[in-house]
Amino acid sequence: MNHAEARAAPAAVQQDVSAILLVNDDPGALFALRTVLGDLDTAIVTATSGEQALLRLLKQDFCVILMDVQMAGLDGFETARLVRQRPRSRDTPIVFLTSHRATDLDRTRGLELGASDYVFMPVAPEVLKAKVQAFIDGARGPCPAPPVRGAIAAQALSAALDREHDDVTSLKGTDGADAALRRHTGSHADENEAERLILEHAGDYVALLDAHGAWRYASPSYRSEFGAGAQPSGQYLDIVHGADRERVRALLDHPPPGGAHWRLQYRVNGRSERQFETDANLIRAANGALAQLVLISHDITERKEMEAYVLHQSFHDSLTGLPNRLLLHDRLGQATSQRERLHAQVAVLFLDLDHFKEINDTLGHAAGDRLLQVVTERLVASVREGDTVARVGGDEFVVMLVELHQLADAALVADKILASVSSSCQIEGSELHVTPSIGLAIFPEDGADTDTLLRNADTAMYHAKRNGGAQYCFFEARMQEVASRRLALGSALQRAIRAGEFVMHYQPKVEAASGVIIGFEALIRWPQADGGVIPPSLFIPIAEETGRIDPIGTWAIGQVAAELRRWSDLGFDDIPIAVNVSALQFRREDVARCLADAVEAARIRPGLLEVELTESGVMNNPLQAIETLHEIHALGMPIAIDDFGTGYSSLAYLKRFPIDKLKIDASFVRDIATDPSDAAIVLAIISLAHVLDLTVIAEGVETEAQMAFLVAHGCDELQGHLFSAAVSNDDAVNLLRRGPFSIGQAAP
């Protein structure tokens, strides 16, 4: 075979066993991953879907697959299952990439599919690179790695320089170097020209240095960027950034033991500051002494900038630019570890915005985001430069105060934050007022580690919020006991929902004029194995806080509708039952649909299912409430406003609400016979209801004196223990069969 044939023959394809496969349907995430892993010495193949990943595996093997869990089409789990079914890829390591929202069930499923690791995003680039490098090293095994970039060029350069040693060692200028490399004749002309091309184009920048680091050759790219700085009379270190110069000098003066090649990164000063990644190759004389040094450099400035951007995004909140939870933990760990040396206290302030969701619901998320940015500016302005403000959730912030000399300093900052955040601000033409609830925890008294400290500050914040918000509260040990009990109750609630442990009881409503039972209110109860009952006043708020109120409310509506069906079958087909709809459930877009479905499933008249809503729940978002109330009213269901007088109803809105009844809160009824103020409030509510053509109901009637007052002043319906406590469905039917109460007669 002649030389021409040899050049034309296709080379045998050697598959890179160390290649990695990145699978993610988010182009931005895929680009960021490729950028971070770009300086690993291996091939990177990408796929934008599970289907595409499977096609890649048909053509090539990989040392590891990094795959997102949540993808459109085939998700990460299903793709992994198909990968495992293929014999050739059955043992290929799979690393799942997922967010902090991943559940234990997700992790378990991934491990069952044979995942080698679970990486929670965002992750520090160096951590991710270290994990992937381990798989690359494992795939390559003890065999020597293929020549790294620059090594081939270095070998070609060395061969050319060996043949022209006399010319190159006597170079006086860059032009002389070029002339020497061009003086080839005879049978070696083509070969030397190829070597020259390798020298000029193997890397972005190619340099030949003598044993002392002086220039002996500079490629055109060096000359263009550095001009006089890349002349034979100068030192290579002259173009290296001052902050990196000593580190590079040390590597050039003392190469790694036994290494003829190594890689280093550093900054250089050309027409602008750039980042270089350089493959350094030693050329030794016959006696083993260092003769020359070949540097094959690549400009990695853009890659470094992207890596810095990805690193910043990994540790900062994208909306506000504040440190995120990861960076907060790191800084808090450093601050607490230095506390002994500084003899100063560290305080953590956990801050949550009161009623922030209402702003999102009313003005939209864009306005909510702008408000968060305004709050961020005010928080940063309220602390010192050495303190940290972090965003750790939707409307949750953490402020870390360092070098405090007394506890009162933390309280002063909390007061300053309260005043600053609470001042009004203009967002999209609306004047908004938002207040924070703040919990404070002090290291180490309130927690010896970062997790405990943050948890206790969070507990104190919820204590401040439950006390009305717009205040701060220091953590106390008893709060943790309360929080633990609430946590246990929340877990028990979930079990109760699954096991169907709740029951409905029914309290009669009596017509004030006749004593006839004209309806019932359904009240949920949670009986316990020991015979006790957990009252709704205890578990309903926790159900609302933990997002468990929806399944409980839906069950209650269905249960009441089914009971109405049973009563109708027994002949009591004109006795309505009122069911309480929580404020959170009322804000759902499908609440009217839920009520309609329950009525349809039970095959009852809609007018038998009465809907009770708290005043505060309706007034939370009056405009949305009007729309939802009209949807419910259109179904033919009566609507009552419960606990009236305890909220902040606007009369302008009240007359626009399509409601049928007002219920006077028991707190006003309790002292109407003895307290002129309560009596006046009750009389005003009765008058207002009648002016608006509404039925008025007094709840919490427990004494003859209360009943007499209410009857005398025109209250329409009465409800309370004077007549009956809430009873089981069978006992409620017995009350109906018993007949009317005598007004003035207590319950039997």
User: pLDDT confidence of 166, banded at 50, 70, 90?
Assistant: very low
Least confident of 334-343, 429-438, 684-693: 334-343
The 8-class DSSP code of residue 241 comes to -
Q: What is the structure's pLDDT at 311?
A: 79
Q: Is the peptide bond before 122 cis (omega within 30 degrees of 0)?
A: yes
Q: What is the structure's pLDDT at 178?
A: 43
How many CA atoms lie less than 13 Å away from 721 in the CB half-sphere? 6
Name the domain boundary from 106, 140, 174: 140
Answer yes or no: is pLDDT of 695 > 80: yes
From the list 514, 513, 578, 505, the residue with the least C-alpha distance to 739 is 514
Least confident of 8-17, 362-371, 685-694: 8-17
Contact indicator for 53, 47 with CB cutoff of 8 Å: yes
Owner of token pair 């570890």: 337
Can you read off the two tokens belonging to residue 629? 């109330």
Q: What is the structure's pLDDT at 338?
A: 73
Q: Could you tell me if residue 299 is inside a domain?
A: yes
Burial 353-391 (b: 16+ CB within 10 A, else e): bbebbebbbbbeeebbebbbebbbebbbebbeeebbbbb
Domain containing 522 equals: 489-738
User: pLDDT confidence of 279, banded at 50, 70, 90?
Assistant: confident
User: pLDDT confidence of 191, banded at 50, 70, 90?
Assistant: very low
Answer yes or no: is pLDDT of 693 > 90: yes
The answer to whether residues 278 and 334 belong to one domain is no
The answer to whether residues 466 and 525 belong to one domain is no
* pLDDT tens, position by position, 372-401: 999 999 999 999 999 999 999 999 999 999
Q: Could you tell me if residue 482 is inside a domain?
A: no
Can you read off the two tokens belonging to residue 538? 């205890």
User: pLDDT confidence of 619, banded at 50, 70, 90?
Assistant: confident
The answer to whether residues 535 and 603 belong to one domain is yes
3-state class of 214 per DSSP?
strand
Neighbours of 602 (CB within 10 A): 21
3-state class of 258 per DSSP?
coil
Ranked by mean pLDDT, the top range of 66-70, 618-622, 717-721 is 717-721
User: pLDDT confidence of 554, banded at 50, 70, 90?
Assistant: very high
Q: Could you tell me if residue 702 is inside a domain?
A: yes
Cα 129 to Cα 245: distance, rounded to the nearest angstrom: 26
Q: What is the structure's pLDDT at 512?
A: 95
The answer to whether residues 73 and 173 belong to one domain is no
Name the domain boundary from 305, 331, 361: 305
Q: Could you tell me if residue 715 is inside a domain?
A: yes
3-state class of 307 per DSSP?
helix
Q: What is the structure's pLDDT at 129?
A: 87
Answer yes or no: is pLDDT of 685 > 60: yes
From the list 612, 608, 607, the residue with the least C-alpha distance to 577 is 608
The overall longest dimension of the chain from CA atoms, in Å, is 129
Cα 401 to Cα 442: distance, rounded to the nearest angstrom: 10
What CATH number corresponds to the domain at position 129? 3.40.50.2300
Q: What is the structure's pLDDT at 145?
A: 44
Q: What is the dihedral of CA 400, 402, 406, 410, to 10 degrees?
A: -20
Report, as an integer, the average pLDDT of 51-55: 84
Task: Give Cβ neighbours of residue 745 (< 8 Å, ≥ 6 apart).
Answer: 515
The answer to whether residues 295 and 332 belong to one domain is no
Report, as an integer, the average pLDDT of 571-589: 91
Cα 150 to Cα 201: distance, rounded to the nearest angstrom: 10
What CATH number corresponds to the domain at position 427? 3.30.70.270
Q: Could you tell me if residue 310 is inside a domain?
A: no
The answer to whether residues 43 and 166 belong to one domain is no
Q: What is the structure's pLDDT at 176?
A: 42
Answer yes or no: is pLDDT of 454 > 90: yes
Least confident of 253-262, 338-347, 573-582, 603-612: 338-347
Least confident of 493-507, 587-601, 734-748: 734-748
| Residue 267 parent element (H or E) | strand 261-269
Q: What is the structure's pLDDT at 185?
A: 36
The 8-class DSSP code of residue 355 comes to T
Report, as an integer, the average pLDDT of 25-53: 84
What CATH number corresponds to the domain at position 250? 3.30.450.20
Name the domain boundary from 83, 108, 140: 140
Beta strands in 85-145 (DSSP E): 94-98, 117-120
Given the DSSP bridges, would you call strands 273-284 and 345-353 parallel, antiparallel or unpaired?
unpaired
Q: What is the structure's pLDDT at 281?
A: 85
Answer yes or no: is pLDDT of 222 > 80: yes
The answer to whether residues 731 and 695 belong to one domain is yes
| Residue 363 parent element (H or E) | helix 356-363
Answer yes or no: is pLDDT of 8 > 80: no
The answer to whether residues 465 and 519 belong to one domain is no
In the chain, the number of structural domains is 4
Q: Could you tell me if residue 743 is inside a domain?
A: no
Cα 6 to Cα 188: distance, rounded to the nearest angstrom: 17
Cα 205 to Cα 96: distance, rounded to the nearest angstrom: 38
Amino acid, single-letter form, for residue 574: D
Cα 119 to Cα 98: distance, rounded to the nearest angstrom: 6
The 8-class DSSP code of residue 665 comes to -
Cα 125 to Cα 294: distance, rounded to the nearest angstrom: 30
Neighbours of 107 (CB within 10 A): 16
Report, as an integer, the average pLDDT of 253-268: 82
The answer to whether residues 471 and 493 belong to one domain is no
The answer to whether residues 718 and 570 belong to one domain is yes
Q: Could you tell me if residue 605 is inside a domain?
A: yes
The answer to whether residues 396 and 429 belong to one domain is yes
0.75 surpassed by pTM: no
The answer to whether residues 232 and 115 belong to one domain is no
Given the DSSP bridges, would you call strands 503-511 and 345-353 parallel, antiparallel or unpaired?
unpaired
Answer yes or no: is pLDDT of 262 > 70: yes
Cα 215 to Cα 234: distance, rounded to the nearest angstrom: 6
User: pLDDT confidence of 663, banded at 50, 70, 90?
Assistant: very high
Which 3-state string (H, E, C) describes 540-565?
Answer: HHHHHHCCCHHHHHHHHHHHHHHHHH
Q: Could you tell me if residue 312 is inside a domain?
A: no
Mean of per-residue pLDDT scores for the chain:
83
User: pLDDT confidence of 551, banded at 50, 70, 90?
Assistant: very high
Q: What is the structure's pLDDT at 616?
A: 78
What CATH number corresponds to the domain at position 517? 3.20.20.450
Report, as an integer, the average pLDDT of 338-357: 82
